[in-house]
């Protein structure tokens, strides 16, 4: 049954504090995705946030549903990231999938009984999706035969469905791109060795290999010609979702530093009584408040012409602030901040990971820079002050 936003946020907060935070170290030690936790997230309504109510979703607008990851980020940023990607795929499948696809998959996805993830990046191209080699051949019977590979696939081998972007010809550009949902158990699907990611070892990431994988036309999510633009929209949603999760991470780092420094005795008083400590943590608190305002503003802009730029601003600023917050809070604890039980080393590494995935902060700077160039072109030229006018260079006499 659909729930209102405050109920959903409360459920996400309880999930983070009762399920994620107490167990994340054990999950990392085991190196296994906690399916019981994602099942519980599904039961709490956290795996179909934007999907229509008719398919078992919550029907929340992006601007509201994205706030869930701030709560989940209190427990772990990588877990919040994985749930956010599942929700993006569920949103795409329920919104753009064929009727046959929705009948087969929608309710399993919105309930969390089945997990989904997004596959765009390729080993050779990183942030440049134009360099895509995964090919789909459309067969006479309407099925698609797909071959290629994808990199940095989250929930690799754990998800049940992979929303995969492919090219349907060898032509340059993006006009032949499409998105198709590939079941994990389809013949020809395999995964490479898991990436070694100590701070989020429970989240399997690896390359995915597609060797003449045959998929029904029922699984086409975005047809030929729409795959690239759909991917950009998915990435924008992911970038704002990551910013949301980073706010939860920052809050946990700040609370850890406050809980420690309020009792730590030094120089005849408590650490938190020292101006230097207050100033350090005060800066973190200001960055956190600014980050919340920015990602929520960006979430409201998704789907509008301003959406990509606002998503870039959020992805540029908030993960950088999270890295700074985690490092500052570690510094406040001194040597104790390096110890695993306090969790700050894990938060520092997670923040760095979130700076990189779904477009590095440098890619966001490129997006912002191009927007500034466009704005500059609309502005009137400034007058040149007297005495500063350009003069032609004097002619040089030929020898």
Please state the rounded mean pLDDT for residues 76-91.
96
Give which of 298, 314, 309 is closest to 368, Cα–Cα. 309
pLDDT tens column, 8-24: 999 999 999 999 999 99
Reported confidence tier of residue 387, pLDDT bands at 50, 70, 90: confident
Please state the rounded mean pLDDT for residues 368-381.
95
Report d(CA 319, CA 331) in Å as an integer: 18
- Residue scoring higher pLDDT (206 or 268): 206
Domain 229-376: what homologous superfamily? Answer: Butyryl-CoA Dehydrogenase, subunit A, domain 3 (1.20.140.10)
Domain map (residue ranges) of the chain: 5-115, 117-225, 229-376
Res 152 pLDDT > 60: yes
Domain 117-225: what homologous superfamily? Answer: Butyryl-CoA Dehydrogenase, subunit A, domain 2 (2.40.110.10)
pLDDT at 328: 95
pLDDT at 102: 97
Q: Of 178-182, 222-226, 263-267, 360-364, which range is least confident?
A: 263-267
pLDDT at 275: 86
pLDDT at 397: 64
Query: Longest C-alpha distance within the chain, in Å?
Result: 90
Q: What is the mean pLDDT of the chain?
A: 92
Query: Which residue reads 């994988």 in tokens?
Result: 213
Please state the rounded mean pLDDT for residues 98-102.
97
pLDDT tens column, 153-207: 999 999 999 999 999 998 888 899 999 999 999 999 999 999 998 788 999 999 9
Q: Of 144-158, 181-195, 262-276, which range is least confident?
A: 262-276
Report d(CA 109, CA 50) in Å as an integer: 12
Res 323 pLDDT > 90: yes
Give which of 46, 88, 48 is closest to 70, Cα–Cα. 46
Reported confidence tier of residue 335, pLDDT bands at 50, 70, 90: confident
CA angle in degrees (0–180, nearest 5) for 73-77-79: 95
Reported confidence tier of residue 140, pLDDT bands at 50, 70, 90: very high
Res 94 pLDDT > 80: yes
The CATH number of 5-115, from 3.40.190.10, 1.10.540.10, 3.10.50.40, 1.20.1530.20, is 1.10.540.10
Please state the rounded mean pLDDT for residues 65-92.
96
Most confident of 166-175, 315-324, 382-391: 315-324
Total residues found in the chain within this entry: 399
CB 162 within 8 Å of CB 119: yes
Reported pTM: 0.92
Res 126 pLDDT > 80: no
The values of phi and psi at residue 95, to 5°, are -90, -30
Pairing of strands 265-266, 269-270: antiparallel
């Amino acid at each position: 049954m659909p729930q209102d936003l405050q109920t959903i946020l409360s459920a996400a907060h309880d999930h983070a504090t009762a399920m994620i935070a107490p167990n994340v170290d054990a999950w990392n030690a085991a190196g296994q995705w906690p399916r019981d936790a994602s099942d519980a997230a599904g039961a709490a309504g956290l795996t179909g946030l934007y999907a229509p109510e008719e398919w078992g979703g919550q029907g929340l607008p992006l601007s509201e549903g994205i706030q869930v990851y701030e709560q989940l980020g209190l427990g772990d940023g990588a877990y919040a990231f994985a749930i956010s990607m599942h929700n993006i795929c569920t949103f795409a499948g329920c919104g753009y999938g064929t009727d046959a696809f929705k009948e087969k998959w929608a309710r399993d996805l919105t309930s969390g009984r089945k997990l989904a993830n997004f596959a765009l990046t390729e080993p050779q191209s990183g942030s440049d999706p134009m360099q895509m080699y995964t090919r789909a051949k459309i067969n006479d019977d309407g099925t698609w035969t797909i071959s290629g590979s994808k990199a940095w696939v989250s929930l690799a081998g754990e998800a049940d469905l992979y929303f995969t972007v492919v090219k349907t010809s060898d032509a340059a550009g993006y006009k032949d791109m499409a998105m198709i949902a590939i079941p994990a158990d389809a013949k020809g699907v395999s995964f490479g060795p898991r990436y070694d990611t100590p701070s989020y070892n429970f989240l399997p990431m690896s390359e995915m290999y597609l060797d003449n994988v045959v998929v029904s036309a029922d699984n086409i999510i975005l047809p030929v010609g729409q795959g690239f633009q759909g991917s950009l929209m998915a990435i924008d949603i992911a970038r704002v979702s990551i910013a949301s999760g980073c706010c939860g991470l920052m809050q946990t780092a700040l609370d850890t530093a406050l809980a420690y420094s309020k009792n730590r005795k030094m120089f005849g008083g408590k650490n938190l009584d020292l101006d230097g400590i207050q100033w350090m943590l005060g800066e973190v608190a200001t960055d956190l408040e600014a980050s919340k305002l920015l990602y929520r503003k960006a979430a409201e802009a998704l789907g509008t012409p301003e959406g990509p730029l606002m998503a870039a601003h959020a992805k540029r600023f908030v993960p950088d602030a999270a890295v700074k917050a985690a490092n500052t809070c570690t510094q406040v604890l001194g040597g104790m901040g390096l110890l695993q039980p306090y969790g700050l080393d894990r938060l520092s590494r997670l923040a760095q990971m979130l700076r990189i995935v779904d477009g590095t902060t440098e890619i966001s700077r490129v997006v912002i820079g191009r927007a500034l160039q466009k704005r500059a072109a609309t502005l009137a030229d400034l007058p040149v002050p007297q005495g500063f006018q350009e003069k032609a260079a004097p002619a040089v006499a030929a020898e």
